[in-house]
Amino acid sequence: MTATLSTIYALASAPGRAGVAVVRLSGPNSVAALLALAPDLSTLPKPRSATRVFLYASESNSSGDPERIDDGLALWFPGPNSFTGEDVVELHVHGGHAVLDALMTSLGSLPGLRPAMPGEFSRRAFEHGKFDLTAVEAIADLVDAETSAQRRQALAQMGGSLAKLYDGWRERLVKSLAFAEASIDFAEEDIPDDLARQSIEALRTLAREITDHMTDDGIGERIRSGFRIALTGAPNVGKSSLLNALAKRDVAIVSDIAGTTRDIIEVPLDLGGYATVLIDTAGIRESTDMIEQEGVRRAQAQAASADLQIILLDATDTAATVPENTDALVVFNKADLLKDLEDESVNQKSLLISVSTGRGLSTLVTEMTSRIAAKARKGLSTSVPLTRARHRHALSECLSALERAISGAETKSSEEMIAEDIRLAAHALGRITGRVDVEELLDRIFRDFCIGK
């Protein structure tokens, strides 16, 4: 554990005018700072309960009297039972610029105090073993969460769902490692055959569980960053008009000139609690214009990588080819231009809408939502979702080390090599939760010590 000497402070609530603002302090001088700012307090406030305090500036005013800053509340969380594990003080004051300016200036002038760096409170919490790295990441996700699915996922992860999974796997690896190391120390004939077989089987089972966890279509990551929905189709069918209608904002340029959109335009959209990104693309057609060609190339790339592709067609265009056997959602636009109802039975399986009149838009949104929800449910049926590229990367390192260990064991290669691969696999898992690096650090520190020191 690192010794943290300075006491940090920061505005914990959002900047700007507000009824109440929360300023948080963490470190050994937190309580001294509170007593310095609230001289009326004759004793320390009761831990973890709100106490009314008059806060004064650390410098007196021009007439030499103490300058009162605000009438607020203070909460004291003695370490280690606090968010960071250190002594923490929270000041609840009125959320105005003048109050906060005066409070921040006073805090800055107190001995041993300095403003916190970004993420420093969470960092201290991690360093004091309050949270593992996945929980710290989940706190950031929860703060950023804009949809209910994001919130639910972040809360579960903050509660330790991922840490439990990865730590459990790591524990099983360490057990296998102990067995492999025992095999190094004892002659081969001392290890019963079925025990060796059981040990390989245990590694195989673990490799399968990790593979299953990783083949999830990236759903957890999608829930965090948004499912991608690409709007594609020929020029002029109304893709940009539809994007604007769904976003309820005038984001993309709309015109009756075919080939208006060239760049990829993205807007966030909350579909039934799922964060999505709606993507407008260039109309797909043969073109000699270099810029439009690039737009078409990008449109096709977006369509290929999207979680859901919407193919928009012009309902009045009798020559339009309706794609068959596609996973895409096929939608006909400009229903308002159809002459009679018979025309409207274009295709039973497709949706008929009119961006101009708003007809069919709510049915379209319902259909989009149910497709995204089905996709999310499919991915989430496998236990706890993987939520970050950082975790995925470490997991694939773990898996390749594990596979090397398994094939090493199958071909009866050296026990040292097998043990080394298992150790690498365990380290890769430990990096996700942040447990291994801490151990490594301690190992390094103690290696440099002479025995007896």
Q: Which of 98, 184, 258, 301 binds ligand GTP (CB under 6 A)?
A: 258
Q: How many CB atoms lie under 10 A from the CB of residue 418?
A: 27
Site for ligand GTP in 343-382 (CB under 6 A): 354-356
Q: Which of 13, 51, 58, 260 binds ligand GTP (CB under 6 A)?
A: 260
Euclidean distance between CA atoms 306 and 301, whole angstroms = 9
Q: Are 346 and 352 in contact (CB under 8 A)?
A: yes
Site string for ligand GTP, 267-306 (x = CB under 6 A): ---------------xx-----------------------
- CA of residue 378 relative to chain centroid, distance: 20
Strand partners, 10: 24
Euclidean distance between CA atoms 69 and 65, whole angstroms = 12
Picked from ligand GTP, Mg ion, none, the partner binding residue 334 (CB below 5 to 8 A depending on kind) is ligand GTP
Q: Which is nearer to ligand GTP, 337 or 389 (CB)?
A: 337
Q: Which of 334, 391, 392, 423 binds ligand GTP (CB under 6 A)?
A: 334
Q: Which is nearer to ligand GTP, 42 or 318 (CB)?
A: 318
Q: Are 351 and 329 in contact (CB under 8 A)?
A: yes
Q: Does residue 240 interact with ligand GTP by CB under 6 A?
A: yes
Euclidean distance between CA atoms 139 and 258, whole angstroms = 46
Q: Are 125 and 85 in contact (CB under 8 A)?
A: yes
Say which residues have a Cβ less than 8 Å from residue 218's Cβ, sequence separation at least 6: 379, 386
Radius of gyration of the chain (CA): 30
Q: Which of 78, 259, 272, 273 binds ligand GTP (CB under 6 A)?
A: 259
Site for Mg ion in 187-246 (CB under 5 A): 239-240
Handedness of CA 115, 121, 122, 128 (dihedral sign): positive
How near is the Cβ of 338 to ligand GTP at its closest, in Å? Answer: 10
The stretch near ligand GTP (CB under 6 A) out of 3-11, 66-74, 259-267, 387-395 is 259-267
Euclidean distance between CA atoms 176 and 245, whole angstroms = 57
How near is the Cβ of 278 to Mg ion at its closest, in Å? Answer: 13
Euclidean distance between CA atoms 90 and 48, whole angstroms = 10
Q: How many CB atoms lie under 10 A from the CB of residue 34?
A: 24
Site for ligand GTP in 314-333 (CB under 6 A): 333
- State the helix-helix crossing angle for 97-109 and 30-37, rounded to 10 degrees: 120
Q: Which two tokens stand for residue 86?
A: 């250190």
Picked from ligand GTP, Mg ion, none, the partner binding residue 241 (CB below 5 to 8 A depending on kind) is ligand GTP
The stretch near Mg ion (CB under 5 A) out of 260-268, 311-319, 359-367, 396-404 is 260-268
How near is the Cβ of 227 to ligand GTP at its closest, in Å? Answer: 21
Q: Which is nearer to ligand GTP, 256 or 327 (CB)?
A: 256
Size of the site for ligand GTP (CB under 6 A): 23
How near is the Cβ of 326 to ligand GTP at its closest, in Å? Answer: 18
Euclidean distance between CA atoms 31 and 204, whole angstroms = 54
The residues that touch ligand GTP, with contacts defined as CB under 6 A, are 235-241, 254-256, 258-261, 282-283, 333-334, 336-337, 354-356
